[in-house]
Amino acid sequence: MALRDIFKFRELPESETSKPFLEHLEDLRWTIVKMAITLIVAMIFCFAFRGTLVRVMQAPLHEIDKNLGVLRALGITDSIVISFHLAFYAGIVISFPLLLFFAAEFVLPALTVMEKKFLFPAIGVSFALFLTGVLVCYFWLLPKTILFFFHDTQSLGWDPAWTVQQYYSFVTRFTLGFGLAFELPVVVLVLVRFGLITYEFMARTRPYAIVLIFILATIITPTPDVLTLIAMSLPMVVLYESCIWIAWFMKRRQARAA
């Protein structure tokens, strides 16, 4: 159903010849190929600088305890496997604008002239939101999280000796997850454009959404202090509120066009 809606949405205007379903699938295949090639090239570039990536990712550890900067590698191939993982996640970050462009190129081929003018700014805003989420998490939330687990481990009388695989798996997923959370306005814009959600629905469910955001922040945030909880949930609330205004603006624009 969703795939059919997407294909229906990306049909060409009536003045042009619409493509059959199989040609849409062919376009989808080439879009996936282009995105895969872009990501692979970005991974190769990032892998060449894996030493720098390691120093950047371990910087929060040095701020807590210099001894934590020495992580334990338990597997023989950990150096290569984790380097590939780091290159993959870093490749997603640096190639994110191109990945968005290829996705938009497939889903939105029937844009008007005015909408096409906003395509590149929209991609820039989307990447800026993603990068903002990553940086906020890395420079502020991640050090607090690691510090909490460090003290919590010591409070139980254990020595915080973390492995390379565990540390990098936690840091990369936590950081990228926070960056993707900042993409909420972009996702809502697409859903509103497809007609899957409306301004009325989002405005009506605002109180429930805010409560849900705080519950999720309580679960995700490992630190028990209120300031950290607010710092993590407040951006989500602001983003959700911005999504409501985006939906209202799009509804008003569609009403004027009609």
CB atoms within 10 A of CB 230: 14
- Domain identity same for 47 and 128: yes
Q: Which of 168, 136, 137, 152 shows the shortest CA–CA distance to 58?
A: 168
Residues 126 and 234 in one domain: no
150: which DSSP letter?
H
Find tokens 């002239």 and name the residue: 113
- 157 shares its domain with 203: no
Q: Look at the chain and report how many structural domains it folds into.
A: 2
96, 124: one domain:
yes
Contact indicator for 171, 57 with CB cutoff of 8 Å: yes
User: Are 222 and 129 found together in one domain?
Assistant: no
Compute the average pLDDT of residues 31-51: 92
Is the domain of 251 the same as that of 146? no
The answer on 114 and 63 residing in a single domain is yes
Asked if the model's pLDDT at residue 194 lies above 70, the reply is no
Query: For residue 246, what pLDDT is reported?
Result: 78
Of 137, 163, 182, the one marking the end of a domain is: 182
Query: What mean pLDDT value characterizes the chain?
Result: 78
> pTM for the complete prediction?
0.71
83: containing domain: 2-182
| Predicted local confidence at residue 124, as pLDDT | 82
Least Cα distance to 90 among 27, 134, 122 occurs for: 134
| Least confident segment among 13-22, 58-67, 81-90 | 13-22
Give the end of a domain, one of 133, 164, 182.
182
Do 106 and 21 have their domain in common? yes
Same domain? For 137 and 210 the reply is no
How much is the CA Rg of the chain, to the nearest whole Å? 22
Among 124, 157, 182, identify where a domain stops: 182
**pLDDT digits 0-9 by tens, 119-172:** 777 778 888 888 888 888 888 888 888 888 888 888 888 887 788 888 888 888
The span from the CA of 94 to the CA of 146, in Å, is 25
